[in-house]
């Protein structure tokens, strides 16, 4: 079966309980409904990746987001343009359990263990320095006030490699490639 995060979550609207939160839009940080969903998709993507499931669709963020720590293993979702899609190619059902403990989101996958996963990276190339700071006037702020809404990030190409060894001896190798702009 195929899993789609956008298919599961549907439209992000206030009527469905979503609140405004930071999102990357047109190369800058802004507020929109469903902001923060990429934290969910990144955490879920990592669970799928380390479980060795085939990733059918995954998108890197436009630029490196500092709090994801390990570059190259993030997953941006934007309804309906960018999704996180994964294939359950195990011989049985897959159960996804989510929990939040002490402000940390965790996903646990339960199913038939029929593979071992090894990975290496991130391998970082094509580094580009961050862009210089820029100020954008905000008429909602008092005169002379400043508010930092984003942070400098270097551009780079990041590759993470994965080798999945199935119980029957088959081996599947793949990689996740992310290209971040400065």
Three-class DSSP category at 58? coil
Span 5-24, average pLDDT: 86
Task: Give per-residue pLDDT as tens, 47-99.
Answer: 999 999 999 999 999 888 877 888 999 999 988 889 999 999 999 999 999 99
Span 18-45, average pLDDT: 80
Q: Are 5 and 84 in contact (CB under 8 A)?
A: yes
Position 68 scores a pLDDT of 80
pTM: 0.87
Position 37 scores a pLDDT of 86
Q: Which helix (H) or strand (E) holds 18?
A: none
What sections of 3-115 are H helices per DSSP?
5-9, 37-51
Task: Give per-residue pLDDT as tens, 98-122.
Answer: 999 998 889 999 999 999 999 999 9
Position 17 scores a pLDDT of 84
Task: Give per-residue pLDDT as tens, 144-175.
Answer: 898 887 788 999 999 999 999 999 999 999 99
Q: How confident is the model at residue 28 (pLDDT cuts 50, 70, 90)?
A: low
**SS3 sequence, 122-182?**
EEEEEEECCCCCCCCCCCCCCCCCCCCCCCCCCEEEEEEEEEEEECCCCEEEEEEEEEECC
Annotate 25-61 with b (16+ C-beta within 10 A) or e (fewer).
Answer: eeeeeeeebbbebbbbbbbbbbbbbebbbebeebbbb
Q: How confident is the model at residue 2 (pLDDT cuts 50, 70, 90)?
A: very high
Position 121 scores a pLDDT of 96
DSSP 98-118: EEEETTEEEEEEES---EEEE
Three-class DSSP category at 79? coil
CA angle, residues 93, 8, 57, in degrees to nearest 5: 80
């Amino acid at each position: 079966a195929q899993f789609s995060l956008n298919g599961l979550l549907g439209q992000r609207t206030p009527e469905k309980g979503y609140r405004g939160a930071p999102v990357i839009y047109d190369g800058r940080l802004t507020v929109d409904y469903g902001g923060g969903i990429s934290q969910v998709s990144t955490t879920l993507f990592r669970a799928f990746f380390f479980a060795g499931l085939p990733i059918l669709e995954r998108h890197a963020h436009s630029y490196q987001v500092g709090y994801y720590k390990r570059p190259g293993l993030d997953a941006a979702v934007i309804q309906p343009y960018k999704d996180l899609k994964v294939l359950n190619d195990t011989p049985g059902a897959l159960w996804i359990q989510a929990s939040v403990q002490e402000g940390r989101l965790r996903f646990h996958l339960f199913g038939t263990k029929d593979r071992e996963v090894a990975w290496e990276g991130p391998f970082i190339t094509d580094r580009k320095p961050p862009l210089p700071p820029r100020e954008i006037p905000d008429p909602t702020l008092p005169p002379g006030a400043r508010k930092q809404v984003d942070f400098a990030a270097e551009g780079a190409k990041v590759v993470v490699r994965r080798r999945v060894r199935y119980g029957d001896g088959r081996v599947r190798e793949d990689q996740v490639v992310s290209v971040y702009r400065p």
